[in-house]
Chains A and B, each alone.
Chain A
Amino acid sequence: MSAGKSRTRLWFLWHSWLAMPLWAFLFFVCLTGTIAVVSTEIMWLVDPSMRASGEGEPLPPSALIAAAEGSTPGARVTSLTWGGSHMAVGARIALPDGTFATAWVNPVSGVVQGLSGNNSFRQFVRALHGWLLTFPVGWYLVTLLAIPLLGSLITGLVVYKKFWKSFYQPRIRWRQAPRVMLGDLHRVAGTWSIWFIAIMSVTSLWFLIYLALIHLGMGLGGGKPPVLVAREDIPVAATPPKVNPNAILAAATAALPDMRLRYLGLPGTAYDPASVIGSSGQTPLLPDFIRLNPFTATVIKVEGGLDGASGIELTRTIMRALHTGDFGGLPIKLIWFVFGLVMTTLVFSGMLIWVKRTARATVDAVRRVKLAEGSSNA
């Protein structure tokens, strides 16, 4: 055997050993992550109260807030979230027992179509995927998978030298023996998801490093002082002044006219500004934040895009957006979902290949031992 060939064998061994002992765990994390990408959409499919037709003139925020606050005694709306024309507006309500719930309000009729508690399916899948419901131990267990994942990608590319062929000549021999078919599937799926695996392993590695640094007392910092309403701008009154959400939204829309509206946050205290979040699409991956004085409905600050944010803050936003695929609406989410499925298949097919090969190798080994035993007995 030539030196080059034996080196390839060594890389191949590395490739096999990196994922195999962990395959079931990695499979579980890939699968739950894939579901987490479309968890909101799954909730939308299951729960009719989250749906809206998208037809008709949408009501102003004040009407939606009044409807949501009328749904439960003592409820106070803290924010409204728009998920697209197919979705009801999610009004987050603070409840007297200190918890929060979401009221789903039809944007056209203003009817509260349903209430969901804080423990939604979406939160559950995220917690299961991200930290196995136990923080921070689970977070470390999951993010540590970034290392074998990155290793599998690199060793896979070294072993499968002509991987670029799979881009223009993808070949899966469906009719051949399962072992051949699985090998083809593994190589083609792996090649087509190189970019995706790279994104997932790098972002997961970031999540690992980020939390480890915090726990080591070496936080990366980068936090900006929050935007607050200046004390002299807060009116002095016997009763709190009424805040006009319609004027706030109008002022924000005037500041960034081509923005896709996502979020309207109402002040919880006198010092909190009102916030409007949207995507103007000027900088990919980065949303725009507009902070407003809630009493006068004037813009205090427009944040977002590349200006003004620290490197750490940008990294945090971009890493999260890239990991979750939540930065370009439904089309991007669906791409992330499909490649999440491909990656899950990759883990499973890798395991099957190993099992089939190991099974054969084991049978061979046992036969050899039997033969040896037989000959020694004779």
Chain B
Amino acid sequence: MRKLLASKAWQRNKFHLSALMMLVPLPFLPGYFSAKPIFAPPEIHRAVSVGPFPITLVTFDQAPHRGPAGDLVKDYSIRLQPADLDRVRGVFLRVGKPRNLRAAGALGFGNPYEREAEVAMPANPTGTEELWLTVEDWTGTVHQTSLPLAEVLGGKR
């Protein structure tokens, strides 16, 4: 008889189990409201000097992901010194040396204090690629430097 009651309760209430789906957002609530995300992957920071401009390059320690067009991309944030904001007219990032200024790569955009660039990544990296940084100032002068991509690629190595 008890078995029957239990089975009756199960029969009557099993369809309310989907309410458990509402628990899914709960663990993410604190992270959502905190300034620093709890589940954010570790970051890679690299200080580079491009001509007279010291830059900190920051990216997640994560493999490249697929962009909206299905291509492989990786996001970098570019931190300039606040004093340099009004001296720089553009920061570009590219894997491989740019042949000319027209193909300097992904333009950093967004918050001028912390520009973001979505850089196209090779599908099968050989490990010898270089990430090129191009900074152009308002006088039209171009400064370039490069660093091994492997240092700022992240993800499994």
Chain A interface (Cβ within 8 Å of chain B)? 20-26, 28, 74, 76, 78, 94-100, 119, 124, 127-128, 132-134, 138, 141, 213-215, 217-223, 228, 231, 234, 236-240, 268-272, 351, 354-355, 358-359, 362, 366, 369
- Within B64-114, the residues touching A (CB, 8 Å) are 66-71, 77, 79, 82, 86, 89-91, 101-102, 107-114
Tell yes or no: B25 within 8 A of A by CB. yes
Number of interface residues of B (CB under 8 A): 48
Asked whether B82 lies within 8 Å of A269 as measured between CB atoms, the reply is: no
Determine chain B's interface SS by DSSP, over half rule: mixed
Residues of B contacting A23 with CB < 8 Å?
A: 15-16, 18
Which has the most chain A C-beta neighbours within 10 Å: B15, B19, B69, B108?
A: B15
Q: Of B28-36, B41-49, B125-133, B148-156, which stretch is located at the interface?
A: B28-36
Tell yes or no: B52 within 8 A of A by CB. no
Q: When chains A and B are docked, how far (Å) is the Cα of A85 from the Cα of B79? A: 38
Smallest CB gap from A228: residue in B: B107
> What sequence of 0s and 1s flags, for each residue 123-147 of chain B, a beta carbon within 8 Å of any chain A beta carbon?
0000000000000101110000000
Asked whether A269 lies within 8 Å of B22 as measured between CB atoms, the reply is: no
Q: When chains A and B are docked, how far (Å) is the Cα of A362 from the Cα of B54? A: 74
Asked whether A236 lies within 8 Å of B21 as measured between CB atoms, the reply is: no
Tell yes or no: B40 within 8 A of A by CB. no
Asked whether A271 lies within 8 Å of B138 as measured between CB atoms, the reply is: no
Asked whether A269 lies within 8 Å of B101 as measured between CB atoms, the reply is: no
15 CB < 8 A contacts A-B: A94-B111, A97-B113, A98-B111, A99-B111, A127-B32, A134-B24, A214-B66, A219-B70, A222-B69, A231-B102, A240-B86, A240-B138, A269-B90, A366-B8, A369-B4
Asked whether B15 lies within 8 Å of A238 as measured between CB atoms, the reply is: no
Asked whether B25 lies within 8 Å of A138 as measured between CB atoms, the reply is: yes
The listed residue (A22, A218, A240, A351) touching B89 by CB distance below 8 A is A240
Q: A127-B32, A268-B115, A362-B11 are in contact. List 8 more A-B contacts (CB 8 A).
A: A28-B21, A214-B66, A220-B70, A231-B102, A269-B90, A354-B15, A355-B12, A362-B8
Residues of A contacting B4 with CB < 8 Å?
A: 366, 369
The listed residue (A76, A237, A366) touching B112 by CB distance below 8 A is A76
Chain A to chain B: the 8 pairs with minimum beta-carbon distance, closest first? A219-B70, A98-B114, A270-B89, A24-B19, A133-B28, A94-B111, A25-B21, A133-B25
